[in-house]
Amino acid sequence: MGAEEFDVVVVGGGIVGAGVALDAVSRGLKVALVEARDFASGTSSRSSKLIHGGLRYLEQYNFDLVREALTERGLLLQRIAPHLVKPVPFLFPMTHHVWERAYVGAGVALYDALSFSMGAKRGVPNHRHLTRRQALKVAPSLRKAAFTGAVQYWDAQVDDARYVMMVLRTAAGYGARIASRTQCVGFLREGERVTGVQVRDLESGDRLEIHAKQVVNATGVWTDDIQDLVGGRGQIHVKASKGVHLVVPRDRIHSASGIILRTEKSVLFVIPWGRHWIIGTTDTTWTLDKAHPAASSADIQYVLDHLNAVLNVPLTPDDVEGVYAGLRPLLSGESEETSKLSREHVVAHPVPGLVMIAGGKYTTYRVMAKDAVDAVAHGLDGRIAASCTDRVALAGGEGFEPLWNSRYRLAAQSKLHVARIEHLLRRYGTLIEDLLELVAGRPDLGKPLTGADDYLRAEIVYAATHEGARHLDDILSRRTRISIEIWDRGVGVVEEAAALAAPVLGWSVEQTQREIEYFTKQVEAERLSQLSQDDQEADARRRGAPDIVPTA
């Protein structure tokens, strides 16, 4: 990167930065992207993992935001990422009779109607009204006295970190240069104009300059920090809102559908997630460590209390196998309550050569990226092509449906169970051929990880060979979701995973031990933070684990 000039350098490797890189490179621009930690290690791996229009925004009369998000949902489901995004049903239990059914029914009907806008296909079924008896057949775990009836509607879900990885791989396939663990520490200037970035390799300590005609700040909750590097001359101010999610085993809640519940501030989702449920979220101001937002015992109890209000058999903290906390980057200045801050996005051009984008929601990342690159185009000489990402399938997406229909044949050829093939197809799409080739060459990689048998050993190797993973935390927390899906948070598989990754990444025996030690300390610190009574104590305990694993 230091040896050439780019049309645009993107700072930030979350979903928005990844989207900007793909949009720019697919318009023919020369693109580089730098990320201070691992890709998607912030907000973009800690969301509710939903692709949705935001049903509750209808109550705020924000019809344009909902319509835009639902249009994107249809594109992601059917054209851009059919291998990564799939429909998911939700029950909306009601506690009053006639008026609430009319009110909620009208809202969900409008939600469905907005998804048809611009002639787009929806990709999900229509909503339906259910009596209490019908709802209990769908979700037997609901307490009969807690509701009067329900509406069932459909949205979609995604593995958020995996999706970011696929966007970045797609951008790299078109020629973008992409680097993790590379922190922006300053800007290059020619007078008033920004002409590139100064970066530091956090592993080697090396510093270099990357020259570019335009720079895009897509750093989410770090937006204000990056603005400070240009003297605070920004037009965007972001406030961080913490959202905590719990992961519990699927057998703790008997339901064939997800569930959505109202809370006093927002909504609570119970989301099916393989052999688990994801339950969340909270919505509270966070002013502490942005890199590692911590969930306290009060956060965990808040989520459990709201869910237990409608369950036959209450859940306890002992039922929780995983916890994660993320920060939403909300545009500030409109309200002191984070639940009412804007989910819309804004693009600013504070100084020549610098574009900043913030706000928005995961579902509309592609629109945000398009708007940011449109702003970049104004600062570049010559004609720049229009965005085409609404027609670009992500890596693994092109030809997915025929391959999905051939999954039994793939199972017979590979000698893997069809359930394994389905798992791989939903994570890698047509790139499954890479995994099957690994297994064919090394049959031991076709075996599941001991203690995390939803994942094959081949997936650990592939994370290091093809997906930019450089450390155990990258592999166990984002390339797979082992750190939130099993009771020991990944400690039991860490040695096996390290042994698989070490030869690929060139780790010495000492480096391998450091990787194991650092991941184990991180899990320990997270567990301690989740026993804390408040944010300050949780933050202090989470900071007790080192962040960057030193390399020899």
For residue 479, count CB atoms less than 10 angstroms from its CB and return exposed for 0-12, middle for 13-18, buried for 19 or more. Answer: buried
Quick check: 78 and 120 in contact, CB under 8 A?
no
The structure tokens 């611009």 sit at 118
Q: What is the enclosing helix (H) or strand (E) of 433?
A: helix 432-441
Q: Where are the alpha helices (DSSP H) in 123-253?
A: 132-138, 160-173, 223-228
- What 3-state DSSP class applies to 258? strand
- Per-residue pLDDT of 157-212, as tens digits, reads 999 999 999 999 999 999 999 999 999 999 999 999 999 999 999 988 999 999 99
- Residue 417's alpha-carbon distances to 407, 408, 446, 501, in angstroms, are 10, 9, 10, 24
Higher pLDDT, 378 or 416: 416
183, 246, 289: which is closest to 545 by C-alpha? 289
- Per-residue pLDDT of 419-437, as tens digits, reads 999 999 999 999 999 999 9
522, 430, 527, 469: which is closest to 81 by C-alpha? 430
Amino acid 122: pLDDT: 63
Give dist(CA 434, CA 6) in Å, integer. 31
Residue 245 phi/psi, 5° resolution? -125, 145
Q: Are strands 238-249 and 284-285 parallel, antiparallel or unpaired?
A: antiparallel
197, 201, 161: which is closest to 481 by C-alpha? 161
Quick check: 158 and 182 in contact, CB under 8 A?
no
Amino acid 262: pLDDT: 86
Residue 142, Cα to own-chain centre: how many angstroms? 29
Confidence of residue 343 (pLDDT cuts 50, 70, 90): low
The structure tokens 């519990």 sit at 248
- Per-residue pLDDT of 68-119, as tens digits, reads 889 999 999 999 999 999 999 999 999 887 888 888 888 888 888 887 754 5
- Per-residue pLDDT of 289-331, as tens digits, reads 999 999 999 999 999 999 999 999 999 999 999 999 999 998 8
Neighbouring residues of 526: CB distance < 8 A, sequence distance ≥ 6: 294, 323, 489, 542, 545
Cβ density class 49-79: b for 16+ within 10 Å, e for less: bbbbbbbebbeeebeebbbbbbbbbbbbbeb
Highest mean pLDDT among 255-269, 324-338, 356-370, 424-438: 424-438
Six token digits for residue 230: 């240009």
Give dist(CA 393, CA 399) in Å, integer. 9
